[in-house]
Amino acid sequence: MNQSRFGHIVNGERMYTGEEIPVYNKYNGEQIASICCADEEVVKQAVDQAVKTFKKEKLTAYQRSDILVKAASLINERKDELALSIVREVGKTLKDANTEIERAVETFSISAEEAKRISGEGVPLPSKHPGENRMAFTVRVPVGVIGAITPFNMPFTLAAHKVAPAIAAGNTIVLKPAEIAPITAMKMIDILEEAGLPPGFINVINGLGQKTGQYLLEDDRVNMFTFTGSVHVGQHIKRVTGIRKVTLELGNNSPNIVHKDAVNLEQVAQLCAQRGLSTLNGQACISVQRLYVHQDIMEEFKKYLIQATEQFVVGDPENIETDIGPLISEVQAQRVEAWVNEAVKNGARVLCGGERNGAFYSPTILTDVTATMKVMCEEVFGPVINLIPYDDIDWVFNEANNSDYGLQVGLFTSNLQIAMKAAQELEFGGVIINDVSTYRSDWTPYGGVKNSGLGKEGPIYAIQEMTDEKTVVINL
């Protein structure tokens, strides 16, 4: 296979400097590309250009919107090529990659619409003093240069969730894609150029997080960071960036609760199996991980859950029939294996799965788990579901909340009181009733509490984060 080489993009110029990092096909181990690792000088040049472009060139809201509409259409035209690129660099299945591309088209399209709707608000000034003879309103202005740092698991759509709203809001960008899966994000830049985005509006630096990413964090001229990735790196970014703006989209160990009055248990079990074990091979921040099932329905639910799990096709992710491919690396599969083994050593039972073959980890259901096991209290980021019985709704809400994370939670019930209690008492950024924690629409506000992050994504909400609200007071 022909290998591609990716460098950096500064003011539209391709630059190839720095140590080369190989990029592999995660299924067969073949090298498919290499990227150059940007040093401090390249990062500085990328930020220089972003600053210069922001100060000198402005695109009108209509121009920004038109570029994003065109980009959405080009992504759609190239969807098969882009999906295959994701399959190869991430190892995720073609089914999941197709969904990822559809979501990116949606994200660009929503951002295009929102580019034309950015506005402040009228501010009432009712007091006699100092409000007398004055009127006030706010306007939203772009923050300036945005540093966007993205993870491997959805390399195209998560970049889209940063890049498209940043453009819509009138900012310039320096993007650092995940070094382990950078290829499809690079294709997004070609598409944006073809869609008419002038040079300098988006600049890309490739390379290792601790080098290239770190240089970007240390450049004070970057006004805001938008990051999706691990809690560990998110905490580091928060520490390093001082009083600059950040949005952090981090991990979770998502609880899902199936109450005894849930409608259509078989379908619920199938959905839980799919979203915990098959979708992105469990490498989703909102993957079903802690699955609490009411004891009255546990036996029936368990039967359906195991049946659904046994039907998954494991194999070559390029095959459209495949449900589960490899994890991102053998090292990550070994970590998942070690966590499961540790749980088993401490009393957990494997209901199915629990085996590793290279980077593949079989879809696994555990029971007899305790809250302190790593598979329960940390983010597994692999195809593992923990099945836990309960009989008391207060107890299960308390257990669901008993986590350092708070991204999304799922609850299946036909009891309105319990649903409303969940909306009020569950400490998460998103409470999903009668669907799994993994539900996400690109329109809705999305983001966690506690260690799951800070700020919201979803183009409408990301644009709020990526603009400053300026107050204007007029003395009449």
Determine the straight-line distance between the first and last CA of the chain, rounded to whole angstroms.
70
Per rule CB under 6 A, is residue 147 in the interface with ligand NAD? no
Angle at 233 between CA 228 and CA 237, to 5 degrees: 85
Residue number with CB closer to ligand NAD (72 or 185): 185
Tell me the angle at which helices 265-273 and 298-310 cross, rounded to the nearest 10 degrees: 50
How are the residues of the chain apportioned to helix, strand and coil, as percentages rounded to the nearest 5? Answer: 40, 25, 35
Per rule CB under 6 A, is residue 153 in the interface with ligand NAD? yes
Per rule CB under 6 A, is residue 251 in the interface with ligand NAD? yes
Spatial separation of the C-alpha atoms in residues 111 and 466, rounded to whole Å: 12
Pick from 45, 85, 150, 322: which binds ligand NAD (CB under 6 A)? 150
Kindly list the strands in the beta sheet with 364-367, ordered across the sheet, starting from the edge strand earlier in the chain: 349-352, 364-367, 384-390, 290-294, 255-258, 408-412, 430-433
| Tokens linked to 170 | 């009138």
Stretch that binds ligand NAD, among 5-13, 14-22, 207-215, 459-467 (CB under 6 A): 207-215
DSSP string for residues in 312-333: PPBS-TTSTT-SB---S-HHHH
Q: What is the dihedral of CA 421, 426, 427, 430, to 10 degrees?
A: -100
The residue among 11, 16, 15 whose CA lies nearest residue 49 is 11
| Binding letters toward ligand NAD, positions 176-195, x by CB under 6 A | x-xx----------------
CB of 280 to ligand NAD, least distance (A): 9
| Binding letters toward ligand NAD, positions 393-432, x by CB under 6 A | --------------x-------------------------
Q: Which residue has the tokens 């983001």?
A: 447
Sign of CA dihedral 58, 61, 63, 67: positive
Per rule CB under 6 A, is residue 245 in the interface with ligand NAD? no
Pairing state of beta strands 364-367 and 467-475?
A: unpaired
- Residue 319 Cα distances to 65, 93, 148, 343, angstroms: 36, 8, 32, 33
Residue number with CB closer to ligand NAD (170 or 234): 234
Catalytic residue flag (residue 285) = yes
CB of 306 to ligand NAD, least distance (A): 26
Spatial separation of the C-alpha atoms in residues 203 and 459, rounded to whole Å: 20
Residue number with CB closer to ligand NAD (295 or 441): 441
Annotated active-site residue in 36, 37, 272, 285: 285
Residue number with CB closer to ligand NAD (150 or 171): 150
| Tokens linked to 103 | 């979501």
Spatial separation of the C-alpha atoms in residues 78 and 301, rounded to whole Å: 41
How many chain residues touch ligand NAD (CB under 6 A)? 28
CB of 180 to ligand NAD, least distance (A): 7
Q: Residue 138, class by beta-carbon neighbours within 10 Å (0-12 exposed, 13-18 middle, 19+ buried)?
A: middle
Per rule CB under 6 A, is residue 459 in the interface with ligand NAD? no
The residue among 289, 306, 299, 294 whose CA lies nearest residue 389 is 294
Spatial separation of the C-alpha atoms in residues 55 and 145, rounded to whole Å: 10
Residue type, 158: L
The residue of the chain with the least Cβ separation from ligand NAD equals 209
CB of 140 to ligand NAD, least distance (A): 24
Per rule CB under 6 A, is residue 149 in the interface with ligand NAD? yes
Pick from 200, 209, 282, 354: which binds ligand NAD (CB under 6 A)? 209
Per rule CB under 6 A, is residue 379 in the interface with ligand NAD? yes
Stretch that binds ligand NAD, among 38-46, 148-156, 184-192, 358-366 (CB under 6 A): 148-156
Q: Which residues pair with 258 in a beta bridge?
A: 293, 412
Per rule CB under 6 A, is residue 145 in the interface with ligand NAD? no
Stretch that binds ligand NAD, among 222-230, 297-305, 359-367, 368-376 (CB under 6 A): 222-230
Pick from 101, 202, 285, 409: which binds ligand NAD (CB under 6 A)? 285
| Binding letters toward ligand NAD, positions 159-178, x by CB under 6 A | -----------------x-x
Pick from 142, 144, 213, 282: which binds ligand NAD (CB under 6 A)? 213
The DSSP code for 281 is G
Per rule CB under 6 A, is residue 151 in the interface with ligand NAD? yes
Residue number with CB closer to ligand NAD (143 or 454): 454
Active site members: 249, 285
Positions in the binding site for ligand NAD (CB under 6 A): 149-154, 158, 176, 178-179, 209-210, 213-214, 217, 228-230, 233, 236, 249-251, 285, 379, 381, 407, 453
